[in-house]
Structure 1
């Protein structure tokens, strides 16, 4: 199932008001860890899957990437990306992640940030990414952590005074579709275990270089006290893999 909630006007307007939508990468709690996983981007051809507003595309060019292709299914996201981008070496294309069909060895680096938990067949996408990477090319991805996606409710267990007591985890081994709420809208995500993510990459021909379960940086925690609870359970899973 290919979702395009971001072209719904109400959903898009709410998304556009999120801190990471306004502040870019520096407002993203996991960015400091994701950036550390990226290889040198100078003179590289880069593909960004689920590029959204193009923040990672712009960063790649700031690091002297030779060319960047940003793929997203949402025309509203891409339209905004084009408005805030002034760089002919960045090519934004409207395309579902599931439908990518690039030539063999077209890219040196593939990035995907918080998009692949919306994709039903992660294994098939891994195969397509492996195909379009050069030998030794790097695939860096972030997804919502399986501890976060296991229950469709994706919410805390609250005490009688509304206090957040703990984050419940159930049905972890029951992989598949989760209909959940995001920005007050029904959204479909796909829950997978950490083992499934890792093994799909290995089966596609990747070597796993590093995993990360980041917390917000101390700088962000100092600025945003409401992020303190994000240190109590993982919300993101980051994986760095290299094509064999």
Structure 2
């Protein structure tokens, strides 16, 4: 069953501050790689699942997609989309929620940053304090 934390005010207030929401696609670290595998969108029908603020939907329209549908996720929708369309799926990588205390660690000597992955291999439901408590 999908988890919807985006309607929680404490989470939402922090989520909208992420670069990917402030700067759009250019603020999403995965965008260059994702863009490189996209087909020419001219004349295509595009389904944007979990569209959030609609950054990709607008990109698709600007790149001549014939029709763009931006909707939220459901199992039936995914089944139908897989039957009818080519599907490229991008989700928030668990690297952000894997650490028991998600944050950048800064080396005091060098100033280099690292992101701890202490619980990355743990399977199943994760609850952490990322952007808001209990996510």
TM-score range, shorter chain: 0.7 to 0.9
Residue correspondence of structure 1 range 3-22 to structure 2 within 5 A: 3-22=3-22
**Structure 1: runs of 5 or more not aligned:** 73-96, 102-124, 188-244
Q: Secondary structure at the match of 1:14?
A: helix
1:185-218 residue CA offsets vs partner (Å, 9 max, x unmatched): 321xxxxxxxxxxxxxxxxxxxxxxxxxxxxxxx
Higher percent of residues as helix: 1
- Cα offset, 1:180, TM superposition: 1.8
Residue correspondence of structure 1 range 1-150 to structure 2 within 5 A: 1-72=1-72, 97-101=73-77, 125=78, 127-133=79-85, 137=86, 139-145=87-93, 150=98
How many residue pairs align between the two structures?
134
- Cα offset, 1:37, TM superposition: 1.3
In 1, Cα distance between the equivalents of 2:97 and 2:36? 24
What TM-score do the two structures reach when normalised by structure 1? 0.45
What TM-score do the two structures reach when normalised by structure 2? 0.75
- Cα offset, 1:175, TM superposition: 2.0
**Structure 2: runs of 5 or more not aligned:** none
In 1, Cα distance between the equivalents of 2:15 and 2:97? 19
**Structural RMSD (CA):** 2.9
In 1, Cα distance between the equivalents of 2:84 and 2:59? 21
- Cα offset, 1:25, TM superposition: 1.2
Q: Would the alpha carbon gap of residues 52 and 151 (structure 1) be closer, same or farther in structure 2, given more than 3 Å must change? A: same
Higher percent of residues as strand: 1
Q: Would the alpha carbon gap of residues 20 and 153 (structure 1) be closer, same or farther in structure 2, given more than 3 Å must change? A: same
